[in-house]
Protein backbone atom coordinates (compact mmCIF):
# COMPACT_ATOMS: atom_id res chain seq x y z
CA UNK A 1 0.00 0.00 0.00
CA UNK A 2 1.21 3.54 -0.73
CA UNK A 3 3.12 2.46 -3.87
CA UNK A 4 2.33 3.00 -7.52
CA UNK A 5 2.45 0.31 -10.16
CA UNK A 6 5.85 1.67 -11.27
CA UNK A 7 7.36 1.01 -7.85
CA UNK A 8 7.60 4.67 -6.85
CA UNK A 9 5.80 5.76 -3.73
CA UNK A 10 2.82 8.05 -4.13
CA UNK A 11 4.62 10.49 -1.85
CA UNK A 12 7.55 10.58 -4.30
CA UNK A 13 5.23 11.07 -7.26
CA UNK A 14 3.42 13.89 -5.45
CA UNK A 15 6.73 15.54 -4.52
CA UNK A 16 7.84 15.34 -8.16
CA UNK A 17 4.57 16.86 -9.33
CA UNK A 18 4.89 19.65 -6.77
CA UNK A 19 8.42 20.38 -8.05
CA UNK A 20 7.12 20.65 -11.62
CA UNK A 21 4.38 23.04 -10.53
CA UNK A 22 6.96 25.12 -8.65
CA UNK A 23 9.02 25.42 -11.85
CA UNK A 24 5.99 26.81 -13.69
CA UNK A 25 5.36 29.58 -11.16
CA UNK A 26 6.56 33.03 -12.36
CA UNK A 27 9.66 34.38 -10.66
CA UNK A 28 8.33 37.78 -9.66
CA UNK A 29 5.25 39.55 -8.38
CA UNK A 30 5.23 41.68 -11.56
CA UNK A 31 4.96 38.52 -13.70
CA UNK A 32 2.01 37.33 -11.60
CA UNK A 33 0.33 40.74 -11.95
CA UNK A 34 0.90 40.80 -15.72
CA UNK A 35 -0.54 37.30 -16.07
CA UNK A 36 -3.56 38.30 -13.96
CA UNK A 37 -4.34 41.00 -16.53
CA UNK A 38 -3.74 38.36 -19.24
CA UNK A 39 -1.95 40.58 -21.76
CA UNK A 40 -2.37 39.14 -25.25
CA UNK A 41 -0.15 39.40 -28.32
CA UNK A 42 -1.09 42.68 -30.08
CA UNK A 43 -1.56 41.12 -33.53
CA UNK A 44 -4.19 39.28 -35.55
CA UNK A 45 -4.87 35.60 -34.85
CA UNK A 46 -2.28 33.18 -36.22
CA UNK A 47 0.40 35.75 -37.09
CA UNK A 48 3.94 34.80 -36.06
CA UNK A 49 6.22 37.62 -34.89
CA UNK A 50 9.77 37.81 -33.56
CA UNK A 51 9.84 39.51 -30.14
CA UNK A 52 13.31 41.06 -29.92
CA UNK A 53 14.89 42.35 -26.72
CA UNK A 54 18.37 43.72 -26.16
CA UNK A 55 20.40 45.19 -23.32
CA UNK A 56 20.89 48.54 -25.11
CA UNK A 57 17.17 49.08 -25.81
CA UNK A 58 15.55 52.22 -24.45
CA UNK A 59 13.79 51.51 -22.21
CA UNK A 60 15.61 48.27 -21.55
CA UNK A 61 12.56 46.03 -20.96
CA UNK A 62 10.74 47.14 -24.13
CA UNK A 63 10.10 44.63 -26.92
CA UNK A 64 10.40 45.21 -30.66
CA UNK A 65 8.08 42.98 -32.70
CA UNK A 66 9.38 42.28 -36.19
CA UNK A 67 8.45 40.13 -39.20
CA UNK A 68 8.54 40.35 -42.96
CA UNK A 69 5.74 42.50 -44.39
CA UNK A 70 5.24 44.19 -41.00
CA UNK A 71 4.38 47.60 -42.50
CA UNK A 72 0.66 48.33 -42.15
CA UNK A 73 -0.20 45.19 -40.14
CA UNK A 74 -2.94 45.62 -37.54
CA UNK A 75 -1.95 46.50 -33.98
CA UNK A 76 -4.49 45.30 -31.41
CA UNK A 77 -5.05 46.22 -27.76
CA UNK A 78 -3.29 43.57 -25.70
CA UNK A 79 -5.78 44.05 -22.85
CA UNK A 80 -8.93 46.02 -22.11
CA UNK A 81 -8.62 49.58 -20.91
CA UNK A 82 -8.84 53.25 -21.85
CA UNK A 83 -6.69 55.01 -24.44
CA UNK A 84 -5.04 57.80 -22.44
CA UNK A 85 -2.54 59.18 -24.96
CA UNK A 86 -2.37 59.41 -28.75
CA UNK A 87 0.62 61.43 -29.87
CA UNK A 88 2.77 62.06 -32.95
CA UNK A 89 6.35 63.09 -32.15
CA UNK A 90 7.23 63.37 -35.85
CA UNK A 91 10.72 62.08 -36.67
CA UNK A 92 11.73 61.82 -33.00
CA UNK A 93 11.68 59.00 -30.47
CA UNK A 94 8.45 56.93 -30.57
CA UNK A 95 7.02 58.78 -33.59
CA UNK A 96 3.32 57.96 -33.63
CA UNK A 97 2.45 56.19 -30.40
CA UNK A 98 -0.43 55.52 -28.06
CA UNK A 99 -0.88 54.43 -24.46
CA UNK A 100 -3.65 52.31 -22.94
CA UNK A 101 -4.35 52.38 -19.20
CA UNK A 102 -5.41 49.01 -17.78
CA UNK A 103 -6.27 47.91 -14.23
CA UNK A 104 -4.11 48.12 -11.10
CA UNK A 105 -1.69 50.77 -12.43
CA UNK A 106 -0.69 48.89 -15.60
CA UNK A 107 -0.37 50.61 -18.98
CA UNK A 108 0.82 49.49 -22.40
CA UNK A 109 2.60 51.63 -24.98
CA UNK A 110 2.59 50.96 -28.75
CA UNK A 111 5.09 52.99 -30.83
CA UNK A 112 6.34 53.69 -34.38
CA UNK A 113 2.78 53.33 -35.70
CA UNK A 114 1.96 54.36 -39.27
CA UNK A 115 -1.65 55.16 -38.36
CA UNK A 116 -3.93 55.50 -35.35
CA UNK A 117 -7.20 53.57 -35.20
CA UNK A 118 -8.17 54.78 -31.70
CA UNK A 119 -8.51 58.16 -30.02
CA UNK A 120 -7.82 59.47 -26.52
CA UNK A 121 -10.69 58.57 -24.21
CA UNK A 122 -11.73 55.48 -26.20
CA UNK A 123 -12.56 52.37 -24.18
CA UNK A 124 -11.01 49.34 -25.84
CA UNK A 125 -11.33 45.62 -25.32
CA UNK A 126 -8.64 43.00 -25.80
CA UNK A 127 -8.16 42.53 -29.54
CA UNK A 128 -9.64 45.87 -30.65
CA UNK A 129 -7.82 47.54 -33.55
CA UNK A 130 -5.84 50.53 -32.22
CA UNK A 131 -3.26 51.23 -34.94
CA UNK A 132 -1.08 50.02 -37.80
CA UNK A 133 2.60 48.96 -37.70
CA UNK A 134 4.94 51.56 -39.12
CA UNK A 135 8.41 53.06 -38.97
CA UNK A 136 7.83 56.54 -37.55
CA UNK A 137 10.03 58.48 -35.14
CA UNK A 138 13.54 57.18 -34.56
CA UNK A 139 12.76 53.81 -36.16
CA UNK A 140 15.03 52.31 -38.84
CA UNK A 141 12.43 49.91 -40.23
CA UNK A 142 8.82 48.78 -39.78
CA UNK A 143 8.20 47.17 -36.39
CA UNK A 144 6.09 47.60 -33.27
CA UNK A 145 7.83 48.91 -30.17
CA UNK A 146 5.82 47.60 -27.19
CA UNK A 147 6.02 48.25 -23.44
CA UNK A 148 4.17 46.89 -20.41
CA UNK A 149 4.40 49.44 -17.61
CA UNK A 150 3.48 48.92 -13.95
CA UNK A 151 3.39 51.97 -11.68
CA UNK A 152 5.47 53.98 -14.15
CA UNK A 153 8.23 51.37 -14.57
CA UNK A 154 8.65 49.31 -17.75
CA UNK A 155 8.47 45.61 -16.84
CA UNK A 156 9.66 42.48 -18.59
CA UNK A 157 6.91 41.50 -21.01
CA UNK A 158 4.54 38.55 -20.48
CA UNK A 159 2.11 37.78 -23.34
CA UNK A 160 -0.35 34.91 -23.59
CA UNK A 161 1.15 33.72 -20.28
CA UNK A 162 4.61 33.43 -21.95
CA UNK A 163 7.58 35.39 -20.62
CA UNK A 164 9.53 37.00 -23.46
CA UNK A 165 13.23 35.99 -23.48
CA UNK A 166 15.70 38.65 -22.29
CA UNK A 167 18.04 39.34 -24.12
CA UNK A 168 17.43 37.79 -27.50
CA UNK A 169 14.56 36.64 -29.66
CA UNK A 170 11.29 34.88 -28.90
CA UNK A 171 9.06 33.65 -31.70
CA UNK A 172 5.47 34.15 -30.65
CA UNK A 173 2.25 33.20 -32.42
CA UNK A 174 -0.74 35.42 -31.78
CA UNK A 175 -3.87 33.82 -30.39
CA UNK A 176 -5.68 37.16 -30.05
CA UNK A 177 -9.14 36.99 -31.55
CA UNK A 178 -8.88 33.30 -32.47
> What is the Cα Rg of the chain in Å?
19
CB 50 within 8 A of CB 169: yes
CA 12/CA 34 separation, integer angstroms? 33
β-strand partners of 99: 85, 109
Closest of 114, 161, 109, 163 to residue 141, by C-alpha: 114
- The fold of 28-173 is Glucose Permease (Domain IIA) (2.70.70)
Residue in 166, 175, 139 with CA at minimum distance from that of residue 60: 166
pLDDT 10s digits, 135-159: 999 999 999 999 999 999 999 999 9
- 3-class secondary structure for 120-138? CCCEECCCCEEEEEECCCC
**What are the structural domain ranges in the chain?**
28-173
Nearest to 72 by CA among 22, 18, 142, 124: 142
pTM for the whole structure: 0.81
> Is residue 55 over pLDDT 90?
yes
Model confidence pLDDT, tens digit, residues 66-110: 999 999 999 999 999 999 999 999 999 999 999 999 988 999 999
Contact 11, 2 (CB under 8 A): yes
Show the DSSP H helices in 65-166 as ranges. Answer: none
Amino acid sequence: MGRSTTGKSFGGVLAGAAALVALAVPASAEDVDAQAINFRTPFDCGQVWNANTRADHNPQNAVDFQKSNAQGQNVLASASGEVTKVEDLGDDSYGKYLVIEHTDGWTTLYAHLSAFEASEGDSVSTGDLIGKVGSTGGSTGPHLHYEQIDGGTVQRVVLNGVKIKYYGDTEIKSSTGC
